[in-house]
Structures are given as structure tokens and as C-alpha cells.
Amino acid sequence: MLLGAILLVAAMGVTPSIVSGQPTVVEDPGDGATSTSTSAPAVERISDPTTTTTLVGPIQVQLVADPRPGDLRVDPNGDVLPSDYEPTNAREVRRDVEYGPDPYHRYDLYLPADDGAPLIVYLHSGGWIGGDRSYVPPMVLRFLELGYAVASVEYRIAPDSTFPEPVEDVKRAIRELKAMGAETGLVDPDRVVVYGTSAGGHLGAFAAATVGEFEPTDLSPTAQAFDSSVAALVSAVGPTDLVQMYSHPNAWAAPMTGTFMGCFPTCTADQLRPANPAEYLHADLPPAYWAYGSLDPLVDADAQGVVIADAWAAAGAQSWLDIVENGDHNLDGTLVNQRAIENFLAQAVAG
């Protein structure tokens, strides 16, 4: 199923932290012991044999203990999050908020207990041709309990809207949400992160890499004062190389990719490549967390995940890669390394 959310396999143990040329100490979440590692390469793919999690540095993570089988979701304390999980401390949910002139330009805003919250802009999955803002993965809603606001953003989809129109929608939403935050004080416009799953992961990564490009031109006067930059990116099972995606043997890959690009069934590499985030990397990228399933039948973890994580880090940004061993494209029903994502975002929004 293509509408899967990110849920990362977690296990007991310590994963060494890799920071270019610098030793880094990581606390063991189990017994307080520490591990020190130094590496010369800018990025090195590492895997602790005691875990089922692979990460690419620079990283500092603590892994969630007690992996469990079945349709379970686990928070950092080992508590099960049911599939219909709703946060208990959401002060308010504002639905169907307009952020632009198109009927698709709507978001649902989940507000935590306090004003001035960091904001997660969530982008849904659906292969660029489906999905909507109504479903927010439990692991994203979980951040409300940590003081984050969440805006689940709807964007235009193919075939009616093709690249780069959905990207422009994401940038419009980010800028309008920043303006709303500055005006109302509900969210902090300086602490906005983008979190996307599948197609939403691609759109989030592309938007994060292209600040100042592919921007909408008819913003509200208040939104014009803000750019589309984000403090961090989380991309789960998001395609990043559309040339490779189009040639993938999965029956869904070429039709979805080509429809999004407006060239199916005769797409060429030159037509597809402009939608690859790697074409736009630069030194001012935000930190990124990439998550993929090792057995994903649609979005290949190596071709789509490892390559972009390496390229992102080579450009000079933090780049965390978490590969779920035996995970597929729909990561529902596996265990989530929620603590790693929480630590990553906490660092990002702390400045």
C-alpha cells in the first residue's frame, strides 16, 4: 500500500556517532555506558551488529529498546501507540484552513498546549496522484505531546497538477504558515520543519533544497515577507531520483512518476531529472533525516536513500539515514525509532 507512514525498526544497543574527523560520545540508553568513535570520511555508513538500524552520520541517536512484533507503534518509553492514536493534549484542531486560492490549498492545524510552538508541516503520501491531509501518522501526532504544532497540508496532485505545481503549493503553505505564526503567536515562524512520507517526502526534500526557486508569485502580503526555508527535514520512503524511479520494475513506479512529471508514457531522463532534489544541493541546506525500508518494493533504499543522504552530507549539511531492516514501503505495523527522530528535531528547533 502506497500510503504508508514512516515507522522505523528500533532495537537495544548503541550506534556510534560519526562526525567528520571528530570523536563523539554517545550515551547508552540502557546502562549509561559510553562509546567513542572517530572517523575521517565525511560520511560513513555504519551498522551496529547488535541493532537492526543502520544510520549515516553525522548522527547522535539513542535507540528505542524492546522491539515488538505485529501491528504496534512504540514511543520512547515503550508504550504502544494504537493505529487510531490521537494526542491527548491537543488544545485545538483547526480544520480546513485556507492557504491559497485553489480548493486543494487547505491544511488542518493541530495546536499543542502552549503558544509559540515549533511547527511540523506534514506532507501526505499518495504517489503524487492521490492522498489527502485527513490522515496524519500517529508518530507525527505524537509530537503534539512534546509541544509541537502540526499542520497537515493538502497540495495539488497529478494528473491535473504536475511538477512543479505541488512544490509551489508546499512553499506557499510554509510561507503562509510562517506569516500566520508571526501574526497570531500560535507557532514560531523561526522553528518550522517539514515532514513528508513517500511522495510528501520527495516534495519536502525538494522544497528544502530550493529556497528562492519554484516559489509561488501570488502570495498574501504578509506571506511575502517570509521565505520557504525550514529548520529541518524528515523524509520517509521519499523518492529522490525520479530517473531511477521511472525505470523501476514496480508496476506503479513509471505511471506515478511520469504522470507527476506530465510526460508519461514517453518520459526521458532530461524530462525527469529537474525534479531530483540532488540537482539543487548547496551549502545552506537544513539538517535532514531520511528513513527507508530495506525491502521497499517501490522506493529503493540504496538508490533513493543512501545516495541522497550521502549527497546531502557532502554539501555540508547534517544527514541522518535510518534503514528499516526488512521494512517495505508501507512501514505501518513495524516499530518506530521515535526517539531518534525526536532527538533530531529537538536539536534542529533548538537552533
The answer to which of 232-246, 248-262, 282-296 has the lowest mean pLDDT is 282-296
Higher pLDDT among residues 324 and 250, named by residue: 250
**Is the model's pLDDT at 221 over the cut of 50?**
yes
Q: Are strands 187-197 and 117-123 parallel, antiparallel or unpaired?
A: parallel
Q: According to the model, what pLDDT value does residue 82 have?
A: 57
**Is the model's pLDDT at 148 over the cut of 70?**
yes
Q: In terms of C-beta density within 10 A (0-12 exposed, 13-18 middle, 19 or more buried), how is residue 302 classed? A: exposed
Whether the Cβ atoms of residue 166 and residue 152 lie closer than 8 Å to each other:
no
DSSP state of 303: I
Region class of 226: left (phi > 0), else alpha (psi between -120 and 50), else beta:
beta
Q: According to the model, what pLDDT value does residue 88 have?
A: 63
**Which ranges constitute the DSSP H helices of 185-252?**
199-209, 242-246
Percent of the chain with pLDDT over 90: 58
Domain extent listing, the chain: 24-349
DSSP state of 333: T
Instruction: Scan for cell 510552538, then name that residue.
Output: 117
Region class of 245: left (phi > 0), else alpha (psi between -120 and 50), else beta:
alpha
Higher pLDDT among residues 22 and 176, named by residue: 176
Q: What's the CATH fold of domain 24-349?
A: Rossmann fold (3.40.50)
CA-based angle 257:279:41, to the nearest 5?
115
Instruction: Scan for cell 513509471, then name that residue.
Output: 254
Half-sphere exposure of residue 98, counting CA atoms within 13 Å on the CB side?
6
Other C-beta atoms within 10 Å of 55: how many?
28
Q: According to the model, what pLDDT value does residue 84 have?
A: 61
Confidence of residue 27 (pLDDT cuts 50, 70, 90): very low
Instruction: Scan for cell 493541530, then name that residue.
Output: 110
Cα end-to-end span (Å), the chain: 37
Distance CA 188, CA 243 (A): 37
Task: Label residues 247-283 b or e (16+ Cβ within 10 Å = b).
Answer: ebeeeebbbbbbbbbebbeebeeebbeebbbbebbee
Where are any strands of DSSP class E within the chain? 24-27, 34-37, 45-47, 53-56, 92-98, 106-111, 117-123, 149-153, 187-197, 232-236, 288-293, 319-324
Distance CA 169, CA 44 (A): 35
The answer to which of 157-161, 169-173, 268-272, 344-348 has the lowest mean pLDDT is 344-348
Of the segments 31-35, 340-344, 345-349, which one has the largest average pLDDT value? 345-349
Q: According to the model, what pLDDT value does residue 140 have?
A: 87
Q: According to the model, what pLDDT value does residue 62 have?
A: 31
C-alpha grid cell for residue 34?
A: 559510553
Average pLDDT, the chain: 78
Sheet containing 319-324, strands listed edge to edge, beginning at the edge strand earlier in sequence: 45-47, 53-56, 319-324, 288-293, 232-236, 187-197, 117-123, 149-153, 106-111, 92-98
For residue range 64-119, list pLDDT tens digits in order: 333 333 323 334 344 445 556 666 667 899 999 999 999 999 999 999 999 999 99
Among residues 305, 272, 279, 328, which one has the least CA distance to residue 201? 305
**Which ranges constitute the DSSP H helices of 116-216?**
138-141, 165-184, 199-209
Q: Is 304 strand, coil or helix?
A: helix
